[in-house]
Amino acid sequence: MQARTWHLGDAHQSLVLASLGDCLPEAVYWGPALPERESYQSLAAAAVTDVTGGMVDRNAPISLNPEASQTFPGQSGLTGRDADGNPLTPRFRFSNETTSEHGLTLVYADTDLELSLVLDLSMDPETSLLQMQTHLESAHKITVDWLAAPVLPVPAHMGEMIEYSGRWCAEFLTRRLPFAPGARVRDNRTGRTDHAHFPALIVCSSQTSNTSGEAYAYHYGWSGGHRMVAEELADGRRQVQFGHASASMKKNHVFRTAPLFATYSGTGFNGAAVRFQKYVRNKLVSGARMPRPVHYNCWEAVYFDHKLDELKSIASRAADLGAERFVLDDGWFGQRDDDTSSLGDWVVDKRKYPDGLKPLIDHVKSLGLQFGIWFEPEMINEDSDLFRAHSEWVLGSADQPKGRQQLVLDMSRDDVRDYLYDCIAKVLAENDIGYIKWDHNRVLPVVDAAQTEGLYALIDRLRADFPHVEIESCASGGGRVDFGILKRTHRVWLSDSNDALERQRIQHDASLFLPASVTGSHVGPRVSHTSGRTINAKFRAWTAAQRHMGFEMDPRELSDEEAEVLKTVTGWWKANRDWMATADILRLDSADPALFAEQQLAEDGDRFVVFAALVRPSNQILQYPLRLTGLDRNALYRITLINRADATGLSRGSPFLKNNDLEASGQYLMSHGLTLPWRFPETIWVLEAKRI
Ligand code: DGJ
C-alpha cells in the first residue's frame, strides 16, 4: 500500500513523516539531512517493526499523537473526557492537508466523536528550528487533561537526556540522566514557567559534548507550566512529549498546545544552542533597542526606601559608570514600604514622590539615560485599595496560603485585564518611560492556562499601544523565562543571584537556549545580597559583560578602584556590543569542572571573544589548554589576552599569551587549544581574536 509521506528539511536535518492508509502519521526518520534521491516511500516501508510474543499483532506507531485506541503501549498524546466524564479514546483518520514551502498542516478527524485534530509543523529556513503545535476541536464541550504537541520518537542510540531543574537564585540547573524503561514525567504545577522547570530537554548520547556528537533539543514555548514525558516503552522505542501542565485547561470546545521548538544537531549541544539563540534574536524578540543600553537597576541599592535625592545621586553615579538606562524598581506606588502592601494600587506614592515621578525622570533624562519602571501587574495585596474594592478578583480559594504576602489576580477576567491596562497605560502615558520590568513573585494557587492567556492578552495590548516600551520578564529572577514570554518581551532577568560565581553557572547553562542580547546580567554589590560572598570587581564586571550588561549595586559603595574597573569593562562592552549582540555563544568543553568557558563568535566568523572563568581552584596545578570551536580550520587568527595585566605574581613563567599576541590556525586552536597563564580562582581571562 502506498504511504502518505511528508518531508521537512534543510542542510542540517530531515524529518520524514509517513502514514499507512488514513492513520495519524509517525516520524519514520529524524536526523542528519537525507540525500535528495532518498525515497520516502521506502523509508515508510522500512519503518515497520516486527511483532513477537507479548505484543499485539500490529504495533501502534509513535504517531504525532499516539492513540490509546490503537493499543499504544505508552503514554498517549491525548487524555480527555466527554461531557458525562467517560474517557475519550479517539481514532483519528486523515481529513485534509495544506503544505507550504517550509511547513504543513495536517487535519485528522474522528467523525463518531466529532473531534478534529490539527497538527502544524514547520521548519524555519533561517534557523533550522522545527516548530510544532497541536490543536483539538470538539463539537461538544469536553475536558482535556492532556494534549501533546506533535510527538516525535527519539532514536535508540541516544541513551541520555539532559533536563532542567533549579530554584530561586539557582535557575537552569542541568542534570544528565539515562533513559530507562518507563516514563520520566515532569509536571510543573506552579502555574508559571518557574525556576525549577525551564521547559526544555536535550536528548543525546553519552558521548555528546558541547562541541561534538548528536543531540535532539526541545523547548516548549509556554509561560503557564508544562508537562514533559520522556518514555522508553517495553519494546525499546522512545518518545518525547510536551504540552501544558496536566489538567490546566478548562472544559471547552477548542484546545491548543503552545509551540514546541525542536532541532537535531550533529555538532554537539552548541549546534542546537546557536539555532535557539538565533531564533530568539532574529525571529522571536521584536523592537528591542539597539545597541542594547547598559542597564542600572536600583533594587539592591535602596529596596523599598525611595528618597528622591538619593535616587538622583545614584542615577548620576550610574551614568558616570556608563549606564544608559535607569530602572526604578519596587516601592514607588501605593504605600509600598515593604512587601506586605499595595500591589494593585499602581498610583505614584505622593509621600515619596510629592511631585510625581517627573522630577526623577527629568533628572535621569538630563543624564542621557532612558527611564524604566517596575510593575507586578498580576498580583494583589490584601492591604490594598484594590483588594478592598474588588476582593472577588482574586484567583483561588479564600483560605489559600499567600506567597510573599500576596495573592494573585484572575487574569482570565476582562475587568481585571482592563483595570491593569488602564493603570499601566496611565503611568506610561503621563511619564517619559521606555521600559517596564514586569515581575511575578509567587506561584499560582491554581494551575490554569487561562491565567497565562490573560497575561499574554494584556501584554499584547500594551505592546500594541506603547510600541516604544521595552519589557523585561522577571519572576523572582528567572521564574518566567520561555519563548512564550520572549515573544512579547525583550529581556529576561535570569536570576536574583547577583553573585557572579553563581551567575557564571546559570548563564552558561541558559545559553543552551538563550542569546546574550536578551539575557540580563548585572554587576552586583561587593558582598552579594543573596549569598553573602565577597567577590572582586573584575570578576563581577566581566561576568556581566558576557550578557546584556547592567549594574545593580549602590554605586556610592564603590571604591575608586572598583569604579575604574567598572568603567573600563563597560567601555569595552560598549565598544563590542554591536557585533556581540548577533554573536553565537559557543560553550567550550573542558575537563576542568572549575572552569566555565565560552566563545562568542561573530556572525561572519571573523572575530570572537573567549571568556574563561575559573570559579574555584582547579585540582591540577596548570590550566588545561583551552580548546576553541567553530573556527575555520584553515584560517589564521590573531589572539590577544586583553586583561593580561591582571596576571598575578604567582604566575612566574612566561606562557606566550602573557606577553604576546598569538597567531595560530583554527585547526591548532580547536585541536590543541590555548595555553593560558596560571591565575587565582575567581578570575576571568578574556581573549579577543580576529581572523587574519
Ligand atoms: C523580585 C525581583 O526578582 C527583584 O529583582 C526585585 O524586582 C523584587 N522582586 C522587587 O520586589
Domains 4-283 and 588-691 share a fold: no
Atom 11 (ligand 1) nearest CA: 330
The rounded Å distance from CA 441 to ligand 1 centre is 8
- Residue 614 and residue 602: Cα distance in Å, rounded? 24
Instruction: Check pocket membership of 345 for ligand 1, CB cut-off 6 A.
Output: no
The top-level CATH class assigned to 588-691 is mainly beta
pLDDT at 1: 74
pLDDT in tens, 474-523: 999 999 999 999 999 999 999 999 999 999 999 999 999 999 999 999 99
Q: What is the pLDDT of residue 619?
A: 97
pLDDT of residue 142: 98
Sign for the pseudo-dihedral over CA of 498, 502, 505, 510: negative
pLDDT for 428 beyond 80: yes
Find the angle CA(592)-CA(593)-CA(599) to the nearest 5 degrees: 75
- Does ligand 1 lie within 6 Å of residue 19's CB atom? no
Task: State whether the beta carbon of 583 lies less than 6 angstroms from ligand 1.
Answer: no
**DSSP strand E in 301-367: where?**
325-328
Distances in whole angstroms, Cα of residue 508 to Cα of each of 176, 484, 493: 16, 21, 15
Active-site residues, by number, are 439, 496
Cell of 416: 481585571
- Residue whose C-alpha is closest to residue 153's, from 328, 316, 343, 25: 25
Does residue 376 line the site of ligand 1, with CB under 6 A?
Answer: no
Ligand 1, atom 10, lies closest to the CA of 330
Q: How buried is residue 94: exposed, middle or buried, by Cβ count under 10 Å (0-12/13-18/19+)? A: middle
Neighbours of 50 (CB within 10 A): 7
CB 297 within 8 A of CB 550: yes
Comparing CA positions, the residue from 441, 512, 483, 473 lying closest to residue 191 is 441
Average pLDDT value for residue range 239-263: 97
The C-alpha cell at 199 is 521547559
| Nearest atom in ligand 1 to 496's CA | 3
Find out whether the beta carbon of 474 lies less than 6 Å from any atom of ligand 1: yes
C-alpha dist (Å) from residue 200 to 161, 283, 392, 402: 10, 19, 36, 29
Give the C-alpha separation, 167 to 460, whole Å.
29
If you search the block for the grid coordinates 533624562, which residue do you land on? 365
Read off φ and ψ for residue 410, nearest 5 degrees. Answer: -80, 100
Residue of minimum CA distance from atom 2 in ligand 1: 476
Q: Which residues of 363-377 are buried (b: 16+ CB within 10 A; e: fewer)?
A: bbbebebbbbbbbbb
Candidates 507, 482, 511; CA nearest to 497 is 507
Ligand 1 in contact with 330 (CB < 6 A)? yes
- Ligand 1 atom nearest residue 475's Cα: 3
Distance, in Å, from the CA atom of 389 to the CA atom of 391, rounded to the nearest integer, reads 6
Q: Which three three-digit cell numbers place residue 139? A: 463539537
Q: Which CATH number fits domain 4-283: 1.10.579.10, 3.30.70.141, 2.70.98.60, 2.60.40.10?
A: 2.70.98.60
Facing residues of 238 across strands?
154, 232
- Which ranges in 34-147 belong to alpha helices (H)? 40-46
Closest approach atom of ligand 1 to CA 437: 7
3-state secondary structure 234-275: CCCCEEEEEEECCCCCCCEEEEECCCEEEEEECEHHHHHHHH
Hey, whose CA ends up nearest to atom 6 of ligand 1? 299
User: To which H or E segment does residue 684 belong?
Assistant: strand 683-691
Checking phi first, is residue 359 left (phi over 0); if not, alpha (psi -120 to 50) or beta? alpha
pLDDT digits (tens, 9 = 90+) for 310-358: 999 999 999 999 999 999 999 999 999 999 999 999 999 999 999 999 9
Region 382-411 average pLDDT: 97
pLDDT at 7: 98
Q: How many residues comprise the chain?
A: 692
C-alpha of residue 376 to centroid of ligand 1, in Å: 9
Residues 213-250 as b or e (16 or more Cβ within 10 Å = b): bbbbbbbbbbbbbbbbbbbbbeeebbbbbbbbbbbbbe
User: Is the C-beta atom of 496 inside 6 A of ligand 1?
Assistant: yes
From atom 3 of ligand 1, which residue's Cα is the shortest distance away? 476
For 317, 318, 395, the CA distances from 314, given in Å and listed in that order, are: 5, 6, 38
Residue 450 confidence class, pLDDT cut points 50, 70, 90 = very high
Q: pLDDT (tens digit, 9 = 90+) per residue, 104-138?
A: 999 999 999 999 999 999 999 999 999 999 999 99
Q: Can you tell me the distance from the alpha carbon of 596 to that of 347, in angstroms, rounded to the nearest whole number?
A: 44
Three-class secondary structure of residue 656 per DSSP: helix
* Nearest residue (CA) to ligand 1, atom 1: 476
Distance 684 CA to ligand 1 centre (A): 28
CA distance 613 to 594: 8
Domain ranges for the chain, please list them: 4-283, 588-691
Pocket test for ligand 1, best of 441, 480, 498, 552 (most atoms within 8 A of CB): 441
Residue 23 contacts by C-beta under 8 Å, 6 or more apart in sequence? 61, 63, 70, 92, 93, 94
Dihedral of the CA atoms 537, 540, 545, 551 (nearest 10)? -90
- Grid coordinates belonging to 301: 541599592
Rounded average pLDDT over 552-568:
98
Q: Whole-angstrom Cα distance, residue 418 to residue 461?
A: 10
Contact 162, 201 (CB under 8 A): yes
pLDDT tens readout for residues 19-67: 989 999 999 999 999 999 999 999 999 999 999 999 999 999 999 999 9
166-213 pLDDT per residue, tens: 999 999 999 999 999 999 999 999 999 999 999 999 999 999 999 999
For residue 152, is it left (φ>0), alpha (ψ between -120 and 50) or beta?
A: beta
Query: Which of 496, 497, 503, 551 most suits a substitution to test ligand 1, by most atoms within 8 Å of the C-beta?
Result: 496
- Among 193, 329, 499, name the best residue to mutate to test ligand 1's pocket (greatest count of ligand atoms within 8 A of Cβ): 329
% of the chain residues with pLDDT over 70: 100
- Sign, Cα dihedral of 521, 524, 526, 528: negative
Give the confidence band of 663 by pLDDT, cuts at 50, 70, 90: very high
Across the chain, what does the average pLDDT equal?
A: 97
Strand partners, 13: 32
Left (φ > 0), alpha (ψ -120 to 50) or beta: where does 630 sit?
left
